[in-house]
Structure 1
């Protein structure tokens, strides 16, 4: 099987594509892959480290308002479609899979014009502009949330979940505890604002840390993000960090740590939500207000409606508000258990396998 993957701009588009590649490789050890992205996107650095050949096209995203930049983008799109056709003819894929981001546009569109079977995967509740555009041309659409179904043609859309959910189940809770030096019997609260951190979450957490000694049976793992770590370390230097707090810039073994986590505080990126619902981790979500079309809040509200998470908007966030939310989980085992069960009901741990089934079906059609 020969597979072209495309998706980029953020890890939320790239890592699902890589998870799909790993599932296809598991099912077809002889499979070969090509990843098409942009030189400027994160994919140009992440994908080669995974050992997957990478080729680039030049493209930029459309603005949501009429502008001269959109005229330039339209011209780049035409050129990128031509470049994509060239790459596709050379590689001769059996299927092309797009996981979002504007680079998917010319690649998947070119594949559809060449009558190569095509699939797109949408991670968020609210689809991005590129996937909305591509939906009319592709053979199949895979979505992560039931709530996304109304945005795509019904006959070719399947709820598969996010393939990152499959990978997180490989985490080892004992290894996660050992890496943090947290003994069995202590609950773990993981506070993280994404790979780069989030200033608002960091400010609220600094307030919260003054009172965490009131939870002697709980260990707090506070991940600042690498860009904030030094400044936060300095800001905390005038008082002693409680013994039940671990301060880290980044977590490299996140699947292991997540497997050991009892409550998580984080943003509401789609891949992250797929991971925590696969594991059934009760969550306090603080959606980023700085993303396109406010899709993180829409993701978070879906979990909130299902009873799997509590949502605090960034403008309402404070140390006190965060502590109140944590109290309702840490001091009420029944509430925690209800949220865990609701989270597990939303989880789709077999997402990668479900997408592979769509790949097989499209490849035969």
Structure 2
């Protein structure tokens, strides 16, 4: 069984592909799995660390306005199609899976046109352009959000699976995590993260909220500011008189699975995989969508989770310390509301998404 996976540019496309690849390997240990990416995307650094071979094609994304860059992208698209054709001819895969990003366009399209079983996985509630095009040629589209289904047209079967998450997300209990992280098991834990690099607007708002929550007996905050923001944030805290021991501020959380296990409430951006991890653990959230995400897809993600009662959305332009403190304090004071959100998050979670995708994709190849 030869399987090619492709998805790149950002971690949001790469990590789902890796998670699916790992599940395929579990289900089919003899599978020959390889990846296709570009030399410009993060995949060139990430994929090799996981032990999978990576081949490169030359392709670039299209600007949303007509320019010289658009013409150059057209030229690279033809180069990418030629590169993809060579890979398909050499490897003769039994299955090709795309997880988004322009890099997967040529390889999935050409494989589909050669009648090789193909499928794609869409992480967001608002699909990307590449996946919307590929949906007309592939056999299955695996949806991270049901809401995305209305944007796909063509003969492909749409299957709602949720988004694939790392298996280690599910490994820890709250009791274990609180002990490992040195937290108080009697206090509600609020986990704050703006992503691996942090989010300046969330940090600014949380500064006011953490000063107000400092010293409170019923709550503790675990806040990852992002490496680039940490010194500036700590200087701002010092200027305001500092915070008590219940406010824990780190530049980066190296063990996010443990932090998620300890969390009773999160303050997060609305990236698809982060939300999948939160809901798999049943963690409700105050979500602040990144306002510059392509096609505003983070707000679509956040609204989908909010509609099911598992989150409250505050837009970045409306975010203030007062607003976020009000949301946090309401949930601390109204235990029943927090419990309802936790139950809604747990109901929304799809912890077996990667296994479901891998099984159904392999079934296509065996037909």
Normalising to structure 1: TM-score of the pair? 0.96
Q: How far does the alpha carbon of each residue in 1:16-61 deviate from its partner, in whole angstroms, 9 at most, with x for none?
A: 0111011111111222211111111111111111111111112111
2:161 paired residue number = 160
Q: How many residues align?
A: 365
CA RMSD for the aligned pairs?
A: 1.5
Q: How far does the alpha carbon of each residue in 1:49-76 deviate from its partner, in whole angstroms, 9 at most, with x for none?
A: 1111111112111112222322211111
Q: Secondary structure at the match of 1:237?
A: helix
Q: How far does the alpha carbon of each residue in 1:123-147 deviate from its partner, in whole angstroms, 9 at most, with x for none?
A: 0001101001111111211111111
Distance in 2 of aligned mates of 1:297 and 1:159: 20
Matches within 5 A, 1:132-171: 132-152=132-152, 153=154, 156-164=157-165, 167-171=168-172
2:262 paired residue number = 260
Matches within 5 A, 1:178-257: 178-213=179-214, 215-238=216-239, 239-257=241-259
| Structure 2 residues not aligned, in runs of 5+ | none
1:150 CA drift (Å): 1.3
Distance in 1 of aligned mates of 2:30 and 2:250: 40
Of 190-199 and 224-233, more deviation after overlay is shown by 224-233
Distance in 1 of aligned mates of 2:108 and 2:155: 20
Matches within 5 A, 1:1-365: 1-152=1-152, 153=154, 156-164=157-165, 167-213=168-214, 215-238=216-239, 239-365=241-367
Distance in 2 of aligned mates of 1:171 and 1:72: 48
Q: How far does the alpha carbon of each residue in 1:149-185 deviate from its partner, in whole angstroms, 9 at most, with x for none?
A: 1122465111111011755222343443234211322
Distance in 1 of aligned mates of 2:337 and 2:166: 24
Normalising to structure 2: TM-score of the pair? 0.95
CA contact (8 A) 1:117 1:362 kept: yes
CA contact (8 A) 2:24 2:359 kept: no
Of 94-103 and 107-116, more deviation after overlay is shown by 107-116
Of 68-77 and 126-135, more deviation after overlay is shown by 68-77
Q: How far does the alpha carbon of each residue in 1:223-276 deviate from its partner, in whole angstroms, 9 at most, with x for none?
A: 001111122122223323211011111111111210111000010000111111
Distance in 2 of aligned mates of 1:127 and 1:18: 20
Distance in 2 of aligned mates of 1:302 and 1:348: 14
| Structure 1 residues not aligned, in runs of 5+ | none
CA contact (8 A) 1:12 1:270 kept: yes
